[in-house]
């Protein structure tokens, strides 16, 4: 019996990848403080996260972003001039997924948007690797792919992380923490990070 090769080579994500991507990201974010805040019920979190990421990908980032994947990870970027915040159609669809947490979600993304930089930049909206693929270079490969595009344009990259344990990983790739933002309604802390362009 031959084993299927698991590749960590980045490739463009398409709508046909939605089910795989949503499953991957649901597993990747199962213990993320912000996702646990949006989906506090542990019994239904996995299913909710899957629907959440599938909605974000198919209605928003798949249309307005730069989306890449490997076999066990996915990343959603917003290029300069792109739409970082979901439109009303996407917010309504996410509201159906989030239920009574939808108002907190709206408040949270509006609060995070207040920290958006005025300078032209690339924005890393989402990156996550399935726990089965962590430590195998899947997330790093996707990050390097997007960072290379920003570097080629001579532009910085911004992100927000709600998981403090991830900060050293981002710092290793050249990001620095600009500050912290507390999400409203007792939400978790977001660390706002910037990476300067490299030649």
pLDDT tens-digit series, residues 107-132: 888 887 787 888 999 999 999 999 98
Residue 1 has pLDDT above 80, yes or no: no
Tell me what percent of the residues of the chain surpass a pLDDT of 70: 97
The pLDDT score that the predictor gives to residue 91 is 94
- Residue range 40-60: mean pLDDT, rounded: 97
The pLDDT score that the predictor gives to residue 80 is 94
What is the signed CA dihedral for 14, 99, 86, 179, rounded to 10 degrees?
A: -110
Choice between 138 and 115, residue whose per-residue pLDDT is larger: 138
- Residue range 76-83: mean pLDDT, rounded: 93
Least confident of 5-9, 150-154, 172-176: 5-9
- Residue range 70-76: mean pLDDT, rounded: 96
Question: How far is it, in rounded angstroms, from Cα 51 to Cα 57?
Answer: 10
The pLDDT score that the predictor gives to residue 133 is 79
Other beta carbons less than 10 A from residue 22's beta carbon: 21
The pLDDT score that the predictor gives to residue 84 is 87
The pLDDT score that the predictor gives to residue 52 is 98
Choice between 152 and 182, residue whose per-residue pLDDT is larger: 152
CATH node for 13-195: 3.40.630.30
Per-chain mean pLDDT for the chain: 92
Q: Cβ distance 117 to 194 under 8 Å? A: yes
Locate the domains of the chain by residue range.
13-195
Pairing of strands 73-78, 122-129: antiparallel
């Amino acid at each position: 019996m031959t084993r299927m090769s698991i590749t960590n080579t980045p490739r463009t994500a398409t709508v046909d990848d939605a089910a795989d991507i949503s499953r991957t990201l649901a597993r990747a974010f199962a213990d993320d403080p912000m996702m646990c805040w949006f989906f506090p019920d542990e019994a239904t979190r996995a299913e909710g996260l899957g629907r959440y990421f599938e909605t974000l990908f198919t209605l928003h980032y798949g249309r307005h972003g730069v989306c890449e994947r490997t076999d066990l990870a996915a990343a959603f970027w917003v290029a300069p001039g792109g739409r970082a915040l979901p439109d009303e159609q996407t917010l309504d669809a996410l509201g159906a997924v989030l239920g009574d947490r939808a108002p907190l979600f709206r408040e949270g993304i509006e609060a995070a948007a207040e920290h958006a930089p005025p300078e032209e930049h690339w924005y890393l909206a989402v990156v996550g690797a399935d726990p089965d693929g962590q430590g195998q270079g899947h997330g790093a490969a996707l990050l390097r792919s997007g960072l290379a595009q920003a570097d080629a344009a001579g532009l910085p990259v911004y992100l927000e992380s709600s998981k403090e344990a991830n900060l050293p990983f981002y710092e290793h790739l050249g990001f620095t923490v600009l500050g912290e933002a507390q999400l409203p309604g007792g939400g978790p802390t977001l660390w706002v990070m910037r990476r300067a362009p490299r030649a």
